[in-house]
A and B are shown apart, each in its own frame.
Chain A
Amino acid sequence: MATQTADALAPSSTNGTDNVLELRNVSKVFGGGLLRRNITVAVDDVSLGIPRENPGIIAVAGESGSGKTTLARLMLGIIPPTEGAIYFNGHDIASLNRSEKREFRREVQPIMQDPFEVYNPFYKVDHVMMAPVQNFGLARSKSEARDLVVESLETVGLRHQETLGRFPHQLSGGQRQRIMVARALLLKPRIIVADEPVSMVDASLRATILGSIDLLNKELGIAVIYITHDLTTAFQISDNIIVMYQGSVVETGRVEDVIQAPQHPYTQLLVESIPRPNPSERWGRDMASQETGGASNEVGCRFAPRCPYVMAECTDEMPPLYRVGDMQAALCYLHRDTATGNVQSISDVFKASV
């Protein structure tokens, strides 16, 4: 990748709007080095644009080891891609100048999985909330800073009387997680990358927290990348979904299409395995004795060793991302003859958010 930062390099728009963040052929490989052993392709050739207007909520779903968290860390600029580049407002994030970098750090905000780990137990909530206000100079006076904090707490449904002045351990898990949302909100970001934000909280609170994330998107137009292993909540709150398996995007598109009519054998297996909350609709009983361990392919489709429809070509070469519908694409040779072309950027099949 050349290192010029000229705007001339700015990526072209994918669907008529310009992108806040754009990934172009991004891959991340771990390991290797001198010994050339144990190479893991954590993210394999992902192209994706997040539009400035009506960005919607994008779910990134997959099991552990699928590369979904690596993708999140790439988007946050925490780790650099091995190949390809990530553009923020048209500039490669690898070569942003000081003020651009600062802007990037403010506009792309993380919400992490476990609020217990994020908090310093010796600091009160006030400190957690005030630090970003001070660091980014968001307020001119103490009282203005406090107003900002109170406002963002209220946006996520927290009363400042019940949160400010308290230590993290005096709050419930749901409150702590919502404080993280409020903190991200303070900075008025354009993009929030939420990595498993509700996996540590009870079901009854899950809806409330996801509700506050949904609100950030719908009311404030913030793009949300929702990283999860839970297809049900992904279905409920997102507009579009990316399903990953061992570093590959195996299926993507409008969430209703992907979840209700999955086209990749892996997505089908995932959807079939969701424990549906209906005792009259139980799992098929056919797979109790299988062990999934199976080593993955070095070349070709990663899912081939587990795939019930595996064909000769699957282990020879990675299939392209076939367009299998207006708003759906699958990385599987089963669709070679019926597909209406290949998809270059994942967001080409995304439903525009309303």
Chain B
Amino acid sequence: MTTAEVSPTAAVNVDIHSENVLEVENLKVYYDTDAGHVKAVDDVSFTLKRGERMGLVGESGSGKTTMAMALMRLHKPPAIIAGGTVRLDGLSLLDLNEEEMRQTRLRDIALVPQGAMNSLNPVYRVRDQIIDGIKHHTDNDKMPNKAMVNERVIELLNSVGLDSNVADMYPHELSGGMKQRVALAIATSLRPKMILADEPTSALDVVVQRQIMLTLEQLQQEMQASVLLVGHDMGLMAQFADVLGVMYAGHLVEFAPIKEIFEDPKHPYTKKLISSLPDIEVKGQFTGIDGLPPTLVVPPPGCRFHPRCPIYNNDEDFRGEFADLRNGLNTDLCTTVDPHLNEIETRRWVACHMYERGS
């Protein structure tokens, strides 16, 4: 599902002048603090195709959530967008005024928040919360009549696997999974081009998590919407995403199709991340990544990963596999020059000096 080929039923209102739905270029989000700029998101670029599902992983503090929120301009002070562009289907989001941006949210780019428990209004019935979103993004004269709106509410609830009677319930009457389904119904109510989901299942059990993710996938395919799933669970990414971005200390360090990144990770951090994943096949292959993520106030010079990098530090485990690449690596670069994100094969982006020779 990585192409823009759309099924005839879903493609009616899609403007196909560009295969890319989301284009992020050199995005910088800084936290303006007394100690100076904390570069939470530093020079991040990537593109997302129509109907494509992208995963974005990173440790806490890597900047993944900050970046995702900045895409919708929902970042909170002291965070500021310090540079770059974000284009959604050609529309430059960072150039919109507040009102235009408000209109664009939900209609074109919708958020499925982390823990829907707290995002629903406890004193409104589910029906009113869904209608609320539709109303605020539809011109008064174009607002369909009450019967049609109610019909749409039921249709939306059914599309996320909920009974029609949920419309008249209050959030406290719903289980965690049901609330997250309501959040999905709201996010898809205006058939957005893109859905941004920030750890949508982090508070849920595995069985419910699987159901919610499959429901999201169904909706997304039916609408041909793109999805950006932010999280830290590589297992969930493997199950859901078409492409994966890996963030480390404010940088996007790798971006590639999901199968390729799991089979052949290029960046040493991704490599470590994937080899440290525990499974239920073999016992005892459970290792962490040594060291701690760096502070972003004073990030390490050069490549931000070098203090923990198995290649730079010449770890035994990595000598065989990366021997050739490491032989040609000038490790002085690792401590002095921040590597750029380069496309080393089609749709395989990596920010590491090992791959920079010859360019």
Contact = CB atoms under 8 A, between A and B. Distances in A.
Interface of A: 63-64, 172-174, 202-208, 210-211, 229, 231-233, 235-237, 256, 259-260, 269-271, 273-280, 282-283, 285, 287-293
Contacts of A172: 292
A203 B179 CA distance: 27
B267 to A, nearest CB: 14
A210 B59 contact: no
Given A282-B238, A292-B207, 12 more contacts: A63-B208, A173-B60, A203-B232, A206-B288, A237-B286, A275-B235, A276-B235, A276-B238, A277-B277, A277-B279, A282-B239, A293-B175
B59 A232 contact: no
A271 B279 CA distance: 11
B316 to A, nearest CB: 18
A207 B288 contact: yes
B99 interface: no
Given A273-B207, A276-B239, A236 B283 contact: yes
Nearest to A286: B214
24 contacts: A172-B292, A202-B232, A203-B232, A203-B276, A204-B288, A207-B287, A208-B288, A232-B278, A232-B279, A233-B286, A273-B206, A275-B210, A275-B233, A275-B235, A277-B274, A277-B277, A278-B238, A288-B161, A288-B215, A289-B215, A291-B177, A291-B178, A293-B175, A293-B178
Interface residues on B, range: 35 or more
Nearest to B234: A277
B258 interface: yes
B209 interface: yes
Interface string B280-312: 100110111100110000000000000000000
B218 interface: yes
Contacts of B206: 63, 229, 231, 270, 273-275
B255 to A, nearest CB: 15
A207 B286 contact: yes
Contact of B238 (A211, A233, A275): A275
B288 A205 contact: yes
Contacts of B289: 204
Contacts of A276: 235, 238-239, 279-280
A290 B235 contact: no
Kindly list the 3 A-B residue pairs having the minimum CB-CB distance in the complex, ordered from nearest: A275-B235, A288-B214, A207-B288
A273 B209 contact: yes
Contacts of A287: 210-211, 214
Contacts, number: 135
B6 interface: no
B80 interface: no
Contact of A292 (B211, B215, B283): B211
Contacts of B293: 202
Contact of A275 (B239, B262, B273): B239
Contacts of B214: 283, 285, 287-288
Given A207-B287, A270-B207, A291-B177, A202 B239 contact: no
Contacts of B345: none
A271 B288 contact: no
Max count, chain B CB within 10 A of own CB: residue among A204, A207, A278, A289: A204
A288 B235 CA distance: 18
A229 B205 CA distance: 7
B283 A283 contact: no
B259 interface: yes
Contacts of A279: 238-239, 241, 258-259, 262
Interface in B171-190: 175-178, 181
Nearest to B308: A204
Contacts of B279: 232, 276-278
Max count, chain B CB within 10 A of own CB: residue among A235, A275, A280, A289: A275
Contacts of A292: 175, 177, 207-208, 211
B163 interface: yes
A278 B280 CA distance: 12
Contacts of A202: 59-60, 232, 293
Contacts of A63: 205-208
Contacts of A207: 276, 278, 286-288
Nearest to A290: B211
B236 interface: yes
B25 interface: no
B14 to A, nearest CB: 23
Contacts of B238: 275-279, 282
B182 to A, nearest CB: 12
Contacts of A285: 214
B149 interface: no
B217 interface: yes
Contacts of A269: 207
Interface string B187-231: 000000000000000000111111101110110000000000000
Contact of B288 (A211, A270, A277): A211
Nearest to B284: A236
B202 to A, nearest CB: 10
A210 B283 contact: no
B58 to A, nearest CB: 9
Nearest to A293: B175
B24 interface: no
Contacts of B259: 279-280
A242 to B, nearest CB: 17
Contacts of B178: 291, 293
B216 to A, nearest CB: 9
Nearest to B288: A207
A215 to B, nearest CB: 13
Given A208-B288, A275-B239, A291 B205 contact: no
B162 interface: yes
